[in-house]
Amino acid sequence: MLIFLICIGLLVLGFKFYSPFVERQAGIDPTAKTPQERFTDGVDYVPVHPVKAFLIQFLNIAGVGPIFGPILGALYGPIALVWIVIGNVLGGAVHDYFSGVMSIKEDGKSLPEIAGHYFNVYFKGAMLIFTAMLLFFVGVVFIMSPAGLLSNLDYFKDTFLSNNTFWVLLILGYYFLATLLPIDKIITKLYPLFGLLMIVMTTSIAVALLIHAPQLPTVDGIFAYFDHSHYNNDLLEPNPSGLPVWPLLFVTITCGAISGFHSTQAPIMARCLTNEKYVRPVYYGAMVAEGVVACVWATAGIAAFPGGYIELKSVLDIGGPGMVVNQVATTYLGVAGGIMAIIAVAVFPITSGDTAFRALRLTIIDAFKIPQSIRNRLFVAIPILIIAYFMTKIDFTLIWRYFAFSNMLLSTSVLWLATKYLFDRGTFHWIVSIPATIGTCVTVSYIMTAGIGFGLPQELSQPVGIAVGVICFIALIIAHNKRKVAPVI
């Protein structure tokens, strides 16, 4: 119990004390006119109350990412909780915050346009490819996963509702509407409610685990990762999966720790905030909230199975993370838990998929400076959704691997973009440049060893990744010494 409470406490303290320090570097101006004030169009630039904006941003970035990823990460043992907290406070929340800052400072523009402003047309082109690729894969993944779950529910057995294609087409139909309609027609009305539902579900699961779970992770479990001499129980091995924590844990748990997908969602609320001072609670705050969700489900993966790693692995092999969610929720919360579990693994991914396609539309329109008419929105959205339908016929695991890599790659690229932003301001860039360096190490190590990359053995890929990171860090020191850091007020 203690390690779980420590993790939640550190996330809260990170928002309370570290996020104001981060904010002081960003140049927030509460008196500046926001993009929403200057470009109100009734479609994307629409005023949204900051509480609503927080709940929408939280749901946009959350979906099932901070549920499924931490459940899979639980296979590594309690070290997963350490990564979530450190990654969230020092990496993911900072990444999300500067994604929002740069977008609101640049008229609510998408990442490629911001990259073109701070770097050059080549970096803009690379960011356009990375962003479009990730958004598309997110949208496809979040068609396939809820459709697969809904078509396999016992309630729908032997009916037309058990047809996977039916659910794929139904979800695509909703995505079509959510992508095209003004943001205040669906998203600002429904998403705050779903955001509250996720908060209620997470809180209920957390309380139930603390009261009833058979084997909550302990502080000793964390230290045992570094000292195996006191561990004799195979079920409680600090890393029972036997998989290399570097870099695979960092890829397995992205949402909740750090995720490039979140930066693609930044322009949606940056076009709706009524004051720059709301960027910190909306963006940094939503990421901390997602970190809490991730800690709860990582704890559930470790604590809710008396058989430890072996039992969790067997459930995952049968039905994946969705079955774990269903088993945990129904075991601890009964019928209400079963209903919330279905919503969690069916509805929540849809709420990320539709904003992924909406953000993809915005990215394309921004990149090619296409006027925001309904005709042009149709010309952009329809081909994307048609291609997405045919992509759902491809093996899910292949799509997921490309999604995981592009997610890592984009988060690292955004941190480097934020580094340039702070360099230009002359403020304390290390809050983003050090996470960017670490992200570079992880990304290079992963692509060197992954099957979709070079397929090198771990003993070669890890040194290569670390060497690239060291080179980046040396370059940072050289660049830093060439200019004087402005004093932080």
What tens-digit pLDDT sequence spans the chain (489 residues)?
Answer: 688 899 999 999 999 999 999 999 999 999 999 999 999 888 889 999 999 999 999 988 987 789 888 999 998 888 899 999 999 999 999 999 999 999 999 999 988 999 998 888 888 898 898 888 888 988 988 898 888 878 877 778 788 888 989 999 999 999 999 888 888 888 888 888 888 888 888 899 999 888 887 777 766 666 555 554 444 444 445 566 666 778 888 888 988 999 999 999 999 999 999 999 999 999 999 999 999 999 999 999 988 888 878 899 998 888 788 888 888 888 888 887 777 777 777 788 888 888 889 889 888 988 888 887 888 889 999 999 999 999 888 876 677 777 778 888 899 999 999 999 999 999 999 999 999 999 999 999 989 988 778 888 888 888 999 999 999 999 989 988 876 544 544
Cα–Cα dist 323/316, whole Å: 7
Q: What pTM was computed for the model?
A: 0.88
The tokens for 173 are 């139909």
* 8 Å CB contact between 39 and 323: no
Count Cα neighbours of 278 within 13 Å in the Cβ-side half-sphere.
23
DSSP class of residue 277? Answer: G
Angle ∠(317,82,8) on CA atoms, nearest 5:
100
Q: What residue has token string 């549920």?
A: 67
- Local structure of residue 91 (DSSP, 8 states): I
What does the block give as tokens for 480?
């830093």
Q: Please state, in angstroms and as integers, the Cα–Cα distance from residue 154 to each residue in 146, 147, 169, following that order.
A: 15, 14, 20
Burial of 261 (C-beta count, 10 Å sphere; 0-12/13-18/19+)? buried
Q: Which residue from 57, 55, 24 is spatially nearest to 270, judged by alpha carbons?
A: 57
Rounded to whole angstroms, what are the CA distances from 391 to 76, 143, 175, 317, 425?
31, 10, 15, 24, 43
| Neighbour count for residue 133 (Cβ, 10 Å) | 17
Sign of the Cα pseudo-torsion (258, 365, 180, 379, in order): negative
Q: Please report, in angstroms and rounded to a whole number, the separation of the first and last CA atoms in the chain.
A: 39
Token look-up 């490039």 returns 260
Of the candidates 298, 342, 292, the residue with the CA atom closest to the CA atom of residue 76:
298
- How would you label 235-250 residue by residue, b for 16+ Cβ within 10 Å and e otherwise? ebbbbbbeeebebbbb
According to DSSP, residue 271 is labeled: T
- pLDDT of the residue at 223: 58
**Distance of alpha carbon 138 from alpha carbon 352, whole angstroms:** 8
Cα–chain center distance at 402: 15
What's the gap between Cα 326 and its chain centre?
22
CA-wise closest residue to 77 among 256, 205, 215: 215
pLDDT at residue number 225: 55
Which three-class secondary structure state does DSSP give residue 162?
helix
Distance between CA atoms of residues 252 and 447, nearest Å: 14
Supply 67's token pair. Answer: 């549920």
